[in-house]
Chains A and B, each alone.
Chain A
Amino acid sequence: MLYFIEQCLNGVQLGMLLFLLAAGLTLVFGIMDLVNLAHGSLYMLGAYFAATFATVTGSFVLAVILAVLASLVAGMVLEVVAIRRLYDRDHLDHVLGTFGLLLFFNELVRLIWGPAGLTLPLPREMLTAVQVIPGVYYPVYRLVIIVTTLAVAVLLYGVVMRTRLGMLIRAGAANREMVGALGINIKLLYTVVFGLGAALAGFAGIMQAPILTVQIGMGENILILAFVVIIIGGIGSIRGAFVASILVGLIDTIGRAFLTDLLRRVLSTNAADTLGPALSSMSIYMLMAAVLVFRPEGLFPAASR
């Protein structure tokens, strides 16, 4: 039972990270109608920025702040230089163009930081574990991830729902021509939204960096997970992205932790050991396929936000 609670916390933590990625992806998707395969590259860049700034400044917190700002700037520059030119093309051209960007960024990182991975050491006070409920010890840093990403999620919700910028973002998702016709500088809005998405993706990479190795291609598999999240949640819906992130995080983590043991009760050990990991890796894709077949617009279609 205690192990189960710990795994649930891990699932929530993965879910929150996915949300950071998916929020930016779903905004860009919903508003600019852009399929952005390079979103994972921004996640990777965030992690590399953080590792570099940590070495330069010696402070973890300072490195995080600087890296988020750097991701924001990188995203806005990317939008102005390249992404902007793809908006009026079809999805296939988006795939081609952003796939090119993905190759480019992987190579750029190899050129600048070299092929070997980097590590981002944590400050000492975050290396301990605390007792969250009697008997369950949980690493402080993972709790920090949950709390900060939750704070970011709340902040994002506040921005989208309560500010003028958020109003424009929602209006842009509903009808971008109309927003443009009403005299809003739609180009600037797009740049800001893309930069925001990049900063969120970068932040996800930064938070993940101390747990995993910072390496080339680290954004590729998690990008696909983020796509799964926004399809399940409904394209363009922040709330849907939030719910789907937690769902995907929990299913993935708990499946990995318990499915093999469960299967052992009904199958031979050998079969369970083979089937368990495969099935648990597949589970979220099966969920997504089921959602697409039965509710093609996702759990929270953008129109009902």
Chain B
Amino acid sequence: MTASLDPTLDAPPQSALLTPRTALIGCFLAVLALLPAYPLLTGDAFTLTLFTRIVILAIGAVSLNLIMGYGGMVSFGHAAYLGIGGYAIGILAKEGIESGFVQWPVAIGASALYALVVGALSLRTRGVYFIMITLAFAQMIYYVAIGLDRYGGDDGLTIYKRSQFGGVINLNNNTLFYYLCVALLVGSIYLVGRIVNSRFGLVIRGSRSNDRRMRAIGFPTFRYRLVCFIIAGALCGLAGALLANHTNFISPAMMHWTRSGDLIVMVVLGGLGSLFGPLIGSVTFLLLEEGLSRITEYPNLILGPILLLVAVYVHGGIQGLLEGRRRA
């Protein structure tokens, strides 16, 4: 059981290039790359909007997977970063600062700072206490946002202008914005891949399996875990900045606790602690949601039990299913 706690350690050898898993990931990436052709051919603009949203939330899921899947830190407050990133954009835009060169670093920096504070306090706790304390901090931020009367309070705030990047990139072009999101998603998956396979990442994964042993052999794991927590926070803050630019709207609902639940669902559904799991999970979850709501008026009547079945019967999410790892 100890070995299979960390799916990355007993994954099949990487040499098998064409497994169902790699084939599926290839398909996903190809679809994402070719997607803007679809609205061009059919004139259906909604698909691009939907997929931009999926890609952005996938970045959030990738960030959550870094701490939850590899570090064993189950954060139930990850939507707070989406909110902080989004509010950084919204507040600056409202105050007349529209340059993305200012807005985006502020969004990322604010999220990282919040992660530093939350991480420093909550990483002292473990297990379910960690789940609850991250949730508590996210609730605080949620209520702060509701209290911001100048920036819309409970009703939220409309952003009239997307971030301005001078002549570098025009975010008002939806196709370009979509490709930027895809590039950032691929970049963040690459980043997470580099992190978890580095020495730093080995410490994080080791601490997940047996923290006491890691400390005994001389690693100050608290610091490593805190840095990892901050990286994840900054990455999800970026996703928040993208989300605000995508919807041109921010509201406290971005960080309602059920949002954090959604992110957890995406990661676990796709496959915890696998590089492409969060992408597969978010595409599956959001498409399922969208598809079900088209065929029935009561989509969650089907979606809810599916999540329950995955929790009960599938070990390692969709990734695990593809690798044939089922619970005995």
Chain A interfacial positions (CB closer than 8 Å to B): 29, 35, 37, 82, 85-86, 89, 91-97, 99-108, 110-111, 220, 224, 227-228, 231, 235, 273-275, 277-278, 281-282, 285-286, 288-289, 292-293, 296
B126-161 residues at the A interface, CB under 8 angstroms: 127-129, 131-133, 135-137, 139-140, 143-144, 146-150
The answer to whether A293 touches B121 (Cβ under 8 A) is yes
Beta-carbon contacts of B36-51 to A below 8 Å, as 1s and 0s? 0000000000000000
The answer to whether B132 touches A292 (Cβ under 8 A) is yes
List chain A residues, Cβ under 8 A from B124: 292-293, 296
List chain B residues, Cβ under 8 A from A277: 146-147
Beta-carbon contacts of B249-283 to A below 8 Å, as 1s and 0s? 00000000110010011001100100000000000
From the candidates A111, A285, A292, name the one contacting B125 in the complex (CB within 8 A): A292
The answer to whether B143 touches A103 (Cβ under 8 A) is no
List chain A residues, Cβ under 8 A from B132: 227-228, 231, 288, 292
B272 to chain A, nearest CB (A): 7
Kindly state whether residue B312 has any CB partner on chain A within 8 Å. Answer: yes
Kindly state whether residue B299 has any CB partner on chain A within 8 Å. Answer: yes
The answer to whether B143 touches A278 (Cβ under 8 A) is yes
Kindly state whether residue B306 has any CB partner on chain A within 8 Å. Answer: yes
List chain A residues, Cβ under 8 A from B272: 92
Beyond A282-B140, A288-B136, 15 extra complex contacts between A and B, CB < 8 Å: A37-B261, A92-B68, A95-B264, A95-B268, A96-B265, A96-B268, A100-B306, A100-B307, A100-B308, A103-B307, A107-B299, A285-B136, A285-B143, A289-B137, A296-B129
From the candidates A91, A105, A228, A275, name the one contacting B131 in the complex (CB within 8 A): A91
List chain B residues, Cβ under 8 A from A220: 257-258
- With contacts A99-B261, A104-B301, A292-B122 known, is A278 near B307, CB below 8 A? no
Name which residue of chain A comes closest to B127, CB basis: A91
From the candidates B122, B125, B136, B268, name the one contacting A93 in the complex (CB within 8 A): B268
Measured in the bound complex, the distance between the Cα atoms of B299 and A172 in whole Å is 38
The answer to whether A278 touches B144 (Cβ under 8 A) is yes
> Which secondary structure characterizes the binding site on chain B?
helix
- With contacts A93-B311, A100-B311 known, is A224 near B139, CB below 8 A? yes
Measured in the bound complex, the distance between the Cα atoms of B137 and A228 in whole Å is 11
B298-328 residues at the A interface, CB under 8 angstroms: 298-301, 303-308, 310-312
Measured in the bound complex, the distance between the Cα atoms of B269 and A105 in whole Å is 20
- With contacts A231-B132, A296-B129 known, is A104 near B305, CB below 8 A? yes
List chain B residues, Cβ under 8 A from A29: 128
Measured in the bound complex, the distance between the Cα atoms of B269 and A88 in whole Å is 18
The answer to whether A89 touches B305 (Cβ under 8 A) is no
List chain A residues, Cβ under 8 A from B104: none
List chain B residues, Cβ under 8 A from A101: 304, 308
The answer to whether B129 touches A35 (Cβ under 8 A) is no
Kindly state whether residue B74 has any CB partner on chain A within 8 Å. Answer: yes
B22 to chain A, nearest CB (A): 25
Kindly state whether residue B76 has any CB partner on chain A within 8 Å. Answer: yes
The answer to whether A281 touches B146 (Cβ under 8 A) is yes
Measured in the bound complex, the distance between the Cα atoms of B103 and A14 in whole Å is 42
List chain B residues, Cβ under 8 A from A227: 132, 135
The answer to whether B257 touches A224 (Cβ under 8 A) is yes
Chain B interfacial positions (CB closer than 8 Å to A): 68, 74, 76, 121-122, 124-125, 127-129, 131-133, 135-137, 139-140, 143-144, 146-150, 257-258, 261, 264-265, 268-269, 272, 298-301, 303-308, 310-312
> Which secondary structure characterizes the binding site on chain A?
helix
From the candidates B131, B135, B307, name the one contacting A99 in the complex (CB within 8 A): B307
List chain A residues, Cβ under 8 A from B257: 220, 224
Name which residue of chain A comes closest to B138, CB basis: A285
List chain A residues, Cβ under 8 A from B305: 100, 104
In the A-B complex, the 7 residue pairs with the smallest Cβ-Cβ separation, listed nearest first, are: A100-B307, A278-B147, A104-B304, A97-B311, A281-B143, A107-B300, A103-B304
The answer to whether B298 touches A97 (Cβ under 8 A) is no
B117 to chain A, nearest CB (A): 10
Name which residue of chain B comes closest to A104, CB basis: B304
The answer to whether A285 touches B127 (Cβ under 8 A) is no
List chain B residues, Cβ under 8 A from A296: 124-125, 129
Measured in the bound complex, the distance between the Cα atoms of B307 and A86 in whole Å is 12
Instruction: Give the one of A89, A94, A104, A296 with max B CB within 10 A.
Output: A104
The answer to whether B261 touches A95 (Cβ under 8 A) is yes
Measured in the bound complex, the distance between the Cα atoms of B133 and A296 in whole Å is 10
The answer to whether A104 touches B300 (Cβ under 8 A) is yes
The answer to whether A111 touches B298 (Cβ under 8 A) is yes
- With contacts A96-B310, A224-B135 known, is A91 near B128, CB below 8 A? yes
List chain B residues, Cβ under 8 A from A108: 301
Name which residue of chain B comes closest to A108, CB basis: B301
23 contacts between A and B (CB under 8 A): A82-B308, A85-B312, A86-B312, A92-B264, A95-B261, A95-B268, A96-B268, A96-B269, A97-B308, A99-B307, A107-B304, A220-B257, A235-B128, A273-B149, A274-B148, A278-B143, A278-B147, A281-B147, A282-B140, A285-B139, A289-B122, A292-B124, A292-B136
Name which residue of chain A comes closest to B72, CB basis: A92
Measured in the bound complex, the distance between the Cα atoms of B231 and A227 in whole Å is 28
Name which residue of chain A comes closest to B120, CB basis: A293
Measured in the bound complex, the distance between the Cα atoms of B122 and A110 in whole Å is 37
Measured in the bound complex, the distance between the Cα atoms of B138 and A227 in whole Å is 14
A282 to chain B, nearest CB (A): 5
List chain A residues, Cβ under 8 A from B269: 96
